[in-house]
Chain A
Amino acid sequence: MTATSTPPSTSSPYAGLKAPTTARRLLTAPTTGPLVALLLACAFFSLSTDQFLTGGNFSLIVQQVMVVGTLAIGQTLIILTAGIDLSCGAVMAFGSIVIARMAAEGSLPPLAAIALGLAVCGGFGLLNGALVQKIPLPPFIVTLGMLNVAFALTHIYSEEQTVTNLPGPLTALGQTFPLGKTDITYGSLVTIALFLLLAYALSSTGWGRHVYALGNSPEAARLNGIRTSRLTIGVYTVAGILYGIAALLLISRTGVGDPQAGQTDNLDSITAVVLGGTSLFGGRGSVLGTFIGVLIVGVFRNGLQLMGVASIYQTLITGVLVILAVTVDQLSRKKAR
């Protein structure tokens, strides 16, 4: 690979808003690389260990990434608008404690407790969005503050106790059903459905195109008649509701309400977004890329554990991959101009 002498230009090739082609290009281009990387990783682990290439193991991987995956959908939406959310894991933890305590202590019927949890998380998102948009404040700072607020509220409200003896509906999504010889977790299907839903919304609706436009240039979006203020607050609120769904998935997966949960999930979700080819500068990327990104992390963790490699190497490799993904992305864009 030789260095190119072409000076980098500042004009984005995606500045236009011509819907179908732009959207399609945005969806296909950045995901190809991560997808090939994922397939190569799968091939490597299939050759390295007998237990990797089975339906049961793939079901396991999806089940293991469903919580961070759902958080990462919200994170992708926010990053597409050139924002960032450091509070997602903490907001999820608070939502999960609200759902677990309300239901376990019988203050609310299980379904009402779940609805309340979603509403609380959505409220955090709304508040984040309002602070970012109305004051305005940088997303990094707002969500850093909110991370501490949500973390503290989680520990105050839970009194540092893990909530056990949860009613059935709370853990229903953690149950499995047989598909051929494989057990599939209901929660995995919820996560996959959410990815497909948001991928459709981003690629094929006006709202989705507006999100990309906002991320590319808030000013241009505003001049084009997009209500950027409402859109921003809406994106953060939708992300919040997604964190609420992640909270429910977390409870169903572990069978308890755990105040310690989610402490590194904010960075883990950003990792998935970056590995999936979404740009931190906004306006470029996709949730399907994020799904591939989250699977890359999950496949490496599962594959390395099956091989018997210590967990610390998984952390090392994830770090290397993140830097590589961004580097190669930058170089390929330079080259392409």
Chain B
Amino acid sequence: MSRTTRLSSSLLRAAACTGIAALTLTACGSGSGSGSASSGSGEIKVGLITKTDTNPFFVKMKEGAEKAAKAEGVKLMTAAGKFDGDNAGQVTAVENMVASGVKGILITPSDSKAIVPAIEKAKAKGVLVIALDTPTEPESAVDALFATDNLKAGELIGEYAKAAMKGKPAKIATLDLAPGVSVGVQRHNGFLKGFGVKDGDPSVVCSQDTGGDQAKGQTAMENCLQKEPDINVVYTINEPAALGAYTALKAKGREKDVLIVSVDGGCTGTQAVKDGKIAATSQQYPLKMASEGVKAVVTYAKDGKKASGYTDTGVTLITDKAQDGVTSKDTAYGLENCWG
């Protein structure tokens, strides 16, 4: 095999690689605003870093940010980790966004503690950092937080479940998120508080982690029913987990006499409330988190005023079977305001 053949085949390989890469880029660049136009120095850039870019909640958040960026006439840059909990991916995204000269970064931290050093480095370079949806630990590591009050979201469905049980003895299953993740812990604690029981109460007969995943939710519910067939209240971290639980209950013919409550208010989940699969859900508003965040960065870019503290973006209890003493809205309202 002669040197020249070898070299030309290598060149061929390289050319093919880069050619395709460039093609792919041009093809996808068109969808992302100004593909190859270099940004002028006058343009304000806002970064949005989500946990993943495949979860509908974050997809919706991105949409909200894009809408707001268009309205404000600024450029939005987006990035995400590869999986929920991918801290290294988020650190890389923060670095790259700072390098590209963003005025502010909106981030949903995958790991509330682990992201803090990267955020501090960004802030030291004069970038405004705002957490969306999930607070950092400590909360003061970011300039501001726009999020749902997850404790309150849990309390609402807890109060609802208590009222709906009308004094019948409850056997509760909690389908949780994952150990040590603040969102999951707050919703769980809020639910128990709203229901009026403490953690470790004998009425809580089964607690399993689902990662907020439908298949894992189904498995968890199957195992809970195996452990305690008389479960009559199911708290779920989100609607996918709730639908998984519903499937498991239906297989046992129990779907009619078990009360499922959830949090999120995605369109699929809200439809499931309308269809009677889920009794009630606490709806949250990711679009609002993102648009408020973008506006805060624009304000900072224009007159140097930094947003600060915690802004509650609101939560609404959605159900078609309203209970006395628990404020709620019906699924018509829920479907109008749902995300995903």
Using a CB–CB cutoff of 8 Å, the interface residues on chain A facing chain B are: 1, 13, 29-30, 32-37, 40-41, 44, 47-51, 56-57, 60, 63-64, 67, 159-162, 164, 250, 253-256, 258, 260-264, 300-302, 304-313, 315-317, 320-321, 324-325, 328-329, 331-332, 335-337
Q: How far is the CA of A305 from the CA of B83 in the complex (A)?
A: 17
User: Do B78 and A311 touch across chains, with their CB atoms under 8 A apart?
Assistant: yes
Give the segment of B108-116, B235-243, B259-267 that binds chain A. B108-116
In the complex, the answer to whether A332 meets B111 with C-beta atoms within 8 Å is no
Interface check B305, CB cutoff 8 A: no
- What's the Cα separation between A295 and B146 when bound, in Å? 36
- CB contacts between A and B, total, < 8 Å: 197
Query: Could you say which residues of chain A place their CB within 8 Å of the CB of B11?
Result: 32-33, 36
Nearest 9 Cβ contacts at the A-B interface: A36-B14, A332-B9, A260-B85, A255-B117, A33-B13, A328-B13, A32-B10, A40-B18, A305-B96
Which B residue sits closest to A13, measured CB to CB?
B1
Q: Tell me if A308 and B77 are in contact (CB < 8 A).
A: yes
Knowing A164-B113, A254-B118, say if A310 contacts B78 (CB, 8 Å). yes
Determine if B111 and A328 form an interchain contact, defined as CB atoms under 8 angstroms apart: no
Query: How far does the alpha carbon of A161 sit from the alpha carbon of B86 in the complex, in Å?
Result: 15
Contacts of B93 in A (CB 8 A): 305, 311
Contacts of B83 in A (CB 8 A): 263-264
Point out the residues of chain B lying under 8 angstroms from A332, CB to CB: 9-10, 12-13
- Chain A residues with CB under 8 A of B75: 308
Beta-carbon nearest neighbor of B8 in chain A: A332
**Chain B: interface residue total (CB-CB under 8 A):** 63
Residues of A within 8 A of B14 (CB): 32-37, 40
Residue of A nearest to B95 (CB): A60
27 pairs, A vs B, C-beta closer than 8 Å: A33-B12, A35-B14, A40-B18, A44-B22, A49-B100, A57-B99, A64-B95, A162-B114, A250-B88, A254-B91, A255-B116, A256-B113, A256-B114, A258-B87, A258-B114, A260-B87, A263-B82, A302-B99, A308-B32, A308-B34, A316-B24, A316-B28, A317-B25, A321-B17, A321-B21, A325-B17, A336-B5
Contacts of A336 in B (CB 8 A): 1, 5-6, 9
Taking the closest CB of chain A, its distance from the CB of B35, in whole angstroms, is: 7
Residue of A nearest to B181 (CB): A160
Give which listed residue, A34, A51, A64, A250, contacts B100 with CB less than 8 A.
A51
**B178: Cβ under 8 A from any A Cβ:** yes
Q: Is the CB of B82 within 8 A of A261?
A: no
Whether B86 contacts A264 by the Cβ 8 Å rule is yes
Which one, A30, A41, A305, contacts B77 given CB within 8 A? A305
Contacting residues of chain B (64-93) with chain A, CB-CB under 8 angstroms: 75-80, 82-83, 85-88, 91-93
Contact between A67 and B88, CB atoms less than 8 A apart: yes
Q: State which residues 24-42 of B face A: CB under 8 Å.
A: 24-25, 28-29, 32-36, 38-39
How far does the Cβ of A226 sit from chain B's closest Cβ, in whole Å?
A: 26
The one of B45, B54, B86, B117 that contacts A260, using a Cβ cutoff of 8 Å: B86
CB pair A51–B17 under 8 Å, yes or no, is no
Question: Is B179 interfacial (CB 8 A cutoff)?
Answer: yes
B111 touches A302 (CB 8 A): no
For residues 170 through 222 of chain B, which have their beta carbon under 8 Å from a beta carbon of chain A?
A: 178-180
Q: Closest residue to B77 on the A side, CB-wise?
A: A308
Q: Is the CB of A302 within 8 A of B17?
A: no
User: Of all chain B residues, which has the CB nearest A256?
Assistant: B114
State the Cβ distance, A25 to closest chain B Cβ, in Å. 8
Q: Does B7 contact A (CB under 8 A)?
A: yes
